[in-house]
Structure 1
Amino acid sequence: MRIIKFIPIKSAFLVILFITISCGEKTEVVNESQSDSQHPSLILTKKGVEEIRAQLGTVPLFDSSLAETKKIVDAEIELGIDVPVPKDYSGGYTHQVHKKNFLILQKAGVLYQILDDEKYAKYVKDMLMQYEEMYKTLPLHPKTRSYARGKLFWQCLNDANWLVYVSQAYDCVYNYLSEEERNKLETNLFRPFADHISIDSPQFYQRVHNHSTWGNAAVGMIGLVMGDEELIDRALYGIKDLKLDTKEKDDDGGFLNKDGKAGFLANIEEPFSPDGYYNEGPYYQRYAMYPFLIFAEALHNVKPALKIFEYKEGVLLKSINALLNLSDADGEFFPLNDGQKGMSYYTSALVTAVDISYHFGTQDPGLLTIAAEQNKVLLDDSGLAVAIGVKNGKAKPFEKKSINLSDGPEGKQGGVAILRNEDIELVFKYAAQGSSHGHYDKLSYSLYEKGDEVIQDYGLARFVNIEQKGGGNYLKENKTWAKQTIAHNTVTQNETSHFNGKYDIGSQHHSILNYFSFENENVQVASAKESNAYPGTAMLRTMAIIKDEDFEKPYLLDIMKVTSNKVNKYDFPYYFLGQVLQTNFEYKTPKTLNTLGSENGYQHLYLEGTAKAASENSKLSWLNEGKFYTLTSLTNNNDELLFTRIGANDPEFNLRREAAFMLRRKDTKNTLFVSTIEAHGSYSPVTESAVNSKSSIKELKLVLDTADYTAIEITNINGNTKLFITANINASKEAKHILTINNKNYTWVGSYYYE
């Protein structure tokens, strides 16, 4: 719902609104727009520049950031200006040059304001004039693969990147340029540029997606600099009276919103949950945070009446805390949905996020510690505030605790639970589809120890900005492998992906939280249900991180309950990383490798080993990154145990050759998968010593499984037994339970019992 409206303004003249206050004859004058003399006003402000200049040489983190920026820009000025005719995909020469140019332009503009050195303004002007000369004759980019082609770049998305950064440069040199020069740039470059990525490309602009957020910010920021209220309105609310085809274009989400929601405010309202979780996942939240926050900062400075940082109960600032919590011990974001591994809060977008969050939010001292680790700040008011806070010793550790982040605009479309205990982190995904970047992985999980993957999520199939690999874009294996259910640590039924791998079906559904409990630091639990992934089948997964004095480290207990109206074949994989050490079952390895199946991701799995479960507990131990791990699974004599490896039907070696252990259960209607994963011991290649290399679990036993409850006994090697009971239906924190197991009564209040 739109709660803010602007008065349409067609010129850049100062608009004064006179608001008469009822008490007495006093009149308050509110300046609702910016005059030419008030530049810079987007990210840097006149007052902020004065404060920065006054502090130079006294704030180490800011000074070092400024010195590094100056070094980079001075080197580029020495090399001269290069504005090549566009022709390449991502990673190609022209793509990289134009990308570098917009980054350098923004930096040069900032240096002009802070250092008051005309050489930077002249550099910005000269390059902008070269772009003006070229742009007015540019056709669409010659590469035709994108659903929305740009002119400087192969896709409108990158054109929008360019304008977001260049708007800041233009703001910084606005008063340096003559009126004639400004008119030339605005008439031949900036307005046509804004029109192309919006009016000419509605399939890119007119929707809710991270691509559109960049487009909205680009149009809005150049509109703020030029004082063009029509562009600002277009940025905030989308293109008015648009009547075009709404047919889906491609997997990147290149389609118009059928419900008509578009614009910057819609892109805040729809993808973010009240907790700040972004439905596309942390990798794309990281990417979108820059336009979200940099445009928000500009709106805050130029349009303070909008109160953008209070919009939707301040969700933009909340989202930064959520995003930081979606990172592992090393600061790398969990690769939920399409996500490249290794992306972390050291990226420049998170420097922006941390600084703006600190300056415009609650001034959380934990953010200062992250800023210090990033070792750079924005060269603006927010960066100065952070640098001063670090200098004054206000930094405190940023604490990552167990957290449950809801999904959906109202927080009612599932979510992501993160359980943390000592060095163990469990990421449990029970979210909605995640827009076009979502995967078919309901109730999947990944497991970490000290930032190292123990049980991995594959992430995306893409070599970002590496031209040799598909022009740096998504590879076909992203659809045929990475998105498919079998690529994830969850149940695949009848070798078919959830929702049959169909976006239009998956986007209609989400999982439902059964309960989340983290109050007891020794037993933290997340439980969720999925009833739509397979018609007629319901899945309930309960995952607990348990710290027990009989174990060296906290361990994972995993209970997946499956009920169906027909007999099925179930595959349950564990994508472990490391070297197999030992099993308690005998397996056979084939002389010739064959694929596990022919479609839905199975065509990419080699079958490397097979076995039949020989006992009620099947064990697999492995070594990774100098640490030992053991998987213990409840099995029966009909279960097949499979070793698989990614890489089949991949002649260009686009996929990583990584292993999985898979439990296959055939001709089964209702079933239960129960397992534990222990982290234990260590190995030093220097001393060549192995410490605590064996499992501490003697037996895993199912003692009760009904519609209401599931109870598991865990017995350690010393003979001590603990019982975990989870409530499958009535799982509220206030619920009272009375249960008899083997003639013994158990009474408790809450979602689970453990003793």
Structure 2
Amino acid sequence: MVFSSYMVLAQEHPNLILTKRGVEKIRAELGKVPLFDASLKIIQEEVDAEIALGIDTPVPKDYSGGYTHERHKRNFLILQKAGVLFQILQDEKYAVYVRDMLFQYEALYKDLPVHPKERSYARGKLFWQCLNDSNWLVYVSQAYDCIYDWLSKKERQQLEKNLFRPFADFISTENPQFFNRVHNHSTWGNAAVGMIGLVMGDEELIQRALYGIEDDGLDADAKDNDGGFIKTQGKAGFLANLEEPFSPDGYYTEGPYYQRYAMYPFLIFAVGLHNVKPELKIFQHKDSVLLKSVNALINLSNEDGDFFPLNDAQKGMSYYSRELVTAVNIAYHYGGSDPRLLSISEKQDRVILDDSGLSVALGIREDKTESFKKQSIHLSDGPDGKQGGITVLREDKLELVFKYTAHGLSHGHYDKLSFMLYDEGMDVLQDYGMARFVNIEQKGGGNYLRENTTWAKQTIAHNTLVQNETSHFNGEYEIGSQHHSELYFYDVSDKNVQVVSAKENNAYPGTKMHRTMALLSFEDFEKPVVLDLLRVSAQTENQYDLPFHFLGQVMKVNFDYSSPSDLGALGTDNGYQHLYIEGKGKPKTKNTKLSWLRNNKFYTLTSVIHKNDEMLFTRLGANDPEFNLRRDASLLIRRKNSKNTVFVSTIESHGSYSPVSEFSVDSNSGIAELQVVHDSSDYTAVTIENVEGKVGLFILSNKNPLKDKKHTLTINNKNYQWTGPYHFIKTKQ
């Protein structure tokens, strides 16, 4: 279908996020809904303070964190809030403020060149990248909708001709490499163009947003600054961005950090489409994947609400962010009023000022809240749910996060079969996240640092296997994006024995990895014990490195090691150049132990070891002259000249220390011996013996994951029979 540039649809305003009917309901409830009233008061005070300061729309010149960047960002946030206040409070000072600032932008934008900073693959005008320009238009379109009917027809025509339509064209048809792809960047661009199109009644812009630019002239091999392909199999537009990155479970392939960021344009544009184009049934699209994704995202946060730092992610980002306030409100209002979401809103302690925010506040007022109890969960990856996934095993405030996903677009890391471990909301074995100080101008203009590529994305930065000091897929996006790990099985039917297992056959040519992780409960242990079983099958001999990136103070080890007087780097490339060698040791027994203290709790890593293995204490900081990397520590098990091998470890959380009483309790490991008692291509069996002589036997079927498959295995002249992919029993020696 062909649309003229200004094919206008008849409509009334506001109709984008706020609606006339919704505003009337909000006004009728003012003063009677505590959480909504409190949120309104905070925003009114914030906007009033900005109005008192006056309007500033400076000529753009800065990266993230610089004055002009932050001023324009502040402006679009305040404009959206001021528009809402005008509708709710009917005070014209807010409409005047929005109008006056929009006309300042109209005067600025008419002759504005592209941003002077040249780093981005798609430079913006108000900001250094089109992404931030799109942020601006997503928010400002809402403000424009709120004062649309208050403005004169002449004022609307001037703004649309000189500001909004050129703005929408610039971030779309003039920058197809930004707009016409599957990526969180494009989601923002699609939403921006679509939302201003909905307000203006411009059908061409709406169709462009939904389906992309038909003839974009892009080279299929073009890449952005992060090394990701610009195009994804020729698919583009908002609906393609709904189809491709989301799995049927609502997992977003770039990871929770960028899912959080993308949820705002996904959901806010969806609300606009729901209100203006209900025939699209956008919230039912792909089996209601947008609404599912909010639940998935909450489940990808730890005990404290911080998102697990999978792929590029800033540690500490949480569901307290403004994007998640919006997401939770919209999911509650449009997704069946799940009372568990109200408990998240209560923690967030604010709502958005629209129909969905009012629904949440009314639900809380009416005492409908139920606790959101996060359970163990498996979330598939890929548009069809068949490209691996993420599993979180939870028990007694332990959270074991196991990653076996697709690459994750340009924000993906090279870390197949990696894991991280949390205890009471605190990471104990960590994923580094990304090397970036967002919006801190002193650190690379707030952008991604060189070390994001040289360290954070490299395999050695994660808790997974590295072969021959080379990252998975040789650290090449073109290769890694073609492959994904495979879920072998997932079973949490018994909370005392929770198991997940996955395979990776493509990270290294000729090498297959199979990792199984479990939370095993023992009566004599304070918390469940993590069992980590990693089998490697290779066609040639290799050097294998298995790092454990622990956080805390080393308490004790049971092996001898030497510390160099001068620190040197562990290697020269693939992240190894950033690791200092702080200690090098050899095992004295068949098990090595590392115990450390983290936040007044003790942890012990016990590993089955070979006599020729090396134990390497490493610390970040080598070849980092600008101090861009944290000085984090790790213990690395190095196994040389090996073909087929198995790494087995346990991790315990035990005891505590009080700096007030200066008492330590249960500071020593409760595991006496960890042993591989059988290993073949068909089965691997491990025993865990505690200090009282009680033994847990875990047997894994390496080839058949079917739940109804019957197995028989003889170990040390004793027969074991079971059904299913694993068997766990407790005995006494």
Same fold (TM over 0.5): yes
> In the comparison of the two structures, how many residue pairs are matched?
729
1:405 matched to which residue of 2?
A: 379
Q: Is 1:231 the counterpart of 2:171 in the alignment?
A: no
Inter-partner Cα distance in structure 2 for 1:7 and 1:615: 75
Q: CA deviation at 1:7?
A: 8.6
**Is the contact between residue 224 and residue 230 of structure 2 (CA under 8 Å) also seen in structure 1?**
no
1:153 matched to which residue of 2?
A: 127
Inter-partner Cα distance in structure 2 for 1:243 and 1:525: 48
**Is the contact between residue 8 and residue 203 of structure 2 (CA under 8 Å) also seen in structure 1?**
no
Q: CA deviation at 1:12?
A: 5.8
Q: Is 1:220 the counterpart of 2:160 in the alignment?
A: no
Q: Is 1:478 the counterpart of 2:452 in the alignment?
A: yes
Structure 1, residues 282-330: CA drift from partner, whole Å, max 9, x if none?
0000000000000000100110000000001100000000000000000
1:299 matched to which residue of 2?
A: 273
- Of residues 691, 694, 702, the one that matches 2:676 is 702
**Is the contact between residue 639 and residue 665 of structure 1 (CA under 8 Å) also seen in structure 2?**
yes
Q: Is 1:284 the counterpart of 2:265 in the alignment?
A: no
1:270 matched to which residue of 2?
A: 244
1:615 matched to which residue of 2?
A: 589
Q: CA deviation at 1:56?
A: 0.2
Q: Tell me which amino acid in the other structure corresponds to 1:418.
A: V
Q: CA deviation at 1:555?
A: 1.1
Q: CA deviation at 1:248?
A: 2.4
Q: Where does 1:40-189 land on structure 2 (aligned, <5 Å)?
A: 40-189=14-163
- In angstroms, what is the RMSD of aligned CA positions? 1.0
Alpha-carbon spacing, 1:242–1:248, altered in 2? closer, same or farther (3 Å)? closer
1:245 matched to which residue of 2?
A: 219
1:714 matched to which residue of 2?
A: 688
Q: CA deviation at 1:242?
A: 2.3
SS of match in other structure, 1:448? strand
1:424 matched to which residue of 2?
A: 398
**Is the contact between residue 115 and residue 125 of structure 2 (CA under 8 Å) also seen in structure 1?**
yes
2:294 matched to which residue of 1?
A: 320
Q: Is 1:520 the counterpart of 2:486 in the alignment?
A: no
**Is the contact between residue 40 and residue 174 of structure 1 (CA under 8 Å) also seen in structure 2?**
yes
Q: CA deviation at 1:736?
A: 1.3
**Is the contact between residue 182 and residue 232 of structure 2 (CA under 8 Å) also seen in structure 1?**
no
**Is the contact between residue 421 and residue 547 of structure 1 (CA under 8 Å) also seen in structure 2?**
no
Q: Tell me which amino acid in the other structure corresponds to 1:568.
A: N
Q: CA deviation at 1:743?
A: 1.7
Alpha-carbon spacing, 1:90–1:13, altered in 2? closer, same or farther (3 Å)? closer
Q: CA deviation at 1:249?
A: 2.8
2:421 matched to which residue of 1?
A: 447
Q: Tell me which amino acid in the other structure corresponds to 2:120.
A: S
Q: CA deviation at 1:241?
A: 2.2
Q: Tell me which amino acid in the other structure corresponds to 1:534.
A: Y
Inter-partner Cα distance in structure 2 for 1:531 and 1:308: 38
Structure 1, residues 46-78: CA drift from partner, whole Å, max 9, x if none?
000000000000000000000000000000000
**Is the contact between residue 283 and residue 338 of structure 1 (CA under 8 Å) also seen in structure 2?**
yes
1:28 matched to which residue of 2?
A: none
Q: Tell me which amino acid in the other structure corresponds to 1:600.
A: N
SS of match in other structure, 2:581? strand
Inter-partner Cα distance in structure 1 for 2:232 and 2:404: 26
Inter-partner Cα distance in structure 1 for 2:301 and 2:232: 34
Q: CA deviation at 1:8?
A: 4.6
**Is the contact between residue 354 and residue 367 of structure 1 (CA under 8 Å) also seen in structure 2?**
yes
Q: CA deviation at 1:255?
A: 4.7
Q: Tell me which amino acid in the other structure corresponds to 1:427.
A: V
SS of match in other structure, 1:519? strand
Q: Tell me which amino acid in the other structure corresponds to 1:749.
A: T
Q: CA deviation at 1:636?
A: 1.5
Deviation >6 Å, runs of 4+: none
Q: CA deviation at 1:250?
A: 3.1
Q: Where does 1:19-58 land on structure 2 (aligned, <5 Å)?
A: 34-35=10-11, 38-58=12-32
Q: Tell me which amino acid in the other structure corresponds to 1:89.
A: Y
Q: CA deviation at 1:729?
A: 1.1
Inter-partner Cα distance in structure 1 for 2:84 and 2:415: 44
SS of match in other structure, 2:401? strand
Runs of 5+ unmatched residues, structure 1: 1-5, 15-33
1:660 matched to which residue of 2?
A: 634
Q: Where does 1:244-643 land on structure 2 (aligned, <5 Å)?
A: 244-252=218-226, 255-257=229-231, 259-643=233-617
Q: CA deviation at 1:749?
A: 1.2
Structure 1, residues 174-229: CA drift from partner, whole Å, max 9, x if none?
01100000000000000000000000001100000000000000000000000000
SS of match in other structure, 2:501? strand
Inter-partner Cα distance in structure 1 for 2:644 and 2:7: 68
Inter-partner Cα distance in structure 2 for 1:455 and 1:736: 36
Taking only the aligned residue pairs, the percentage that are identical comes to 68
Inter-partner Cα distance in structure 1 for 2:229 and 2:548: 36
Inter-partner Cα distance in structure 1 for 2:605 and 2:115: 52
Inter-partner Cα distance in structure 1 for 2:390 and 2:708: 23
**Is the contact between residue 174 and residue 182 of structure 1 (CA under 8 Å) also seen in structure 2?**
yes
1:25 matched to which residue of 2?
A: none
Inter-partner Cα distance in structure 2 for 1:370 and 1:465: 27
1:26 matched to which residue of 2?
A: none
**Is the contact between residue 253 and residue 435 of structure 1 (CA under 8 Å) also seen in structure 2?**
no
Inter-partner Cα distance in structure 2 for 1:549 and 1:595: 44
Q: CA deviation at 1:751?
A: 1.8
Structure 1, residues 122-171: CA drift from partner, whole Å, max 9, x if none?
00000000000010010000111100000000000000000000000000
Q: CA deviation at 1:734?
A: 1.6
Q: CA deviation at 1:251?
A: 3.8
**Is the contact between residue 632 and residue 675 of structure 1 (CA under 8 Å) also seen in structure 2?**
yes
**Is the contact between residue 299 and residue 306 of structure 1 (CA under 8 Å) also seen in structure 2?**
yes
Q: Tell me which amino acid in the other structure corresponds to 1:642.
A: L
Q: Tell me which amino acid in the other structure corresponds to 1:683.
A: Y
2:697 matched to which residue of 1?
A: 723
Alpha-carbon spacing, 1:278–1:261, altered in 2? closer, same or farther (3 Å)? same
Q: CA deviation at 1:259?
A: 2.1
Inter-partner Cα distance in structure 2 for 1:251 and 1:745: 58
Q: Tell me which amino acid in the other structure corresponds to 1:542.
A: T
Alpha-carbon spacing, 1:251–1:83, altered in 2? closer, same or farther (3 Å)? closer
Q: CA deviation at 1:252?
A: 2.9
Inter-partner Cα distance in structure 2 for 1:745 and 1:324: 44
Q: CA deviation at 1:665?
A: 0.4
**Is the contact between residue 204 and residue 254 of structure 1 (CA under 8 Å) also seen in structure 2?**
no
SS of match in other structure, 1:145? coil
Inter-partner Cα distance in structure 2 for 1:7 and 1:68: 46
2:664 matched to which residue of 1?
A: 690
Inter-partner Cα distance in structure 1 for 2:703 and 2:643: 20
**Is the contact between residue 626 and residue 682 of structure 1 (CA under 8 Å) also seen in structure 2?**
yes
Alpha-carbon spacing, 1:535–1:148, altered in 2? closer, same or farther (3 Å)? same
SS of match in other structure, 1:595? coil
SS of match in other structure, 2:58? coil
Structure 1, residues 227-248: CA drift from partner, whole Å, max 9, x if none?
0000000000001222232232
**Is the contact between residue 148 and residue 254 of structure 1 (CA under 8 Å) also seen in structure 2?**
no
Q: CA deviation at 1:254?
A: 6.3
Inter-partner Cα distance in structure 2 for 1:744 and 1:363: 55
SS of match in other structure, 1:324? helix
Inter-partner Cα distance in structure 1 for 2:166 and 2:676: 67
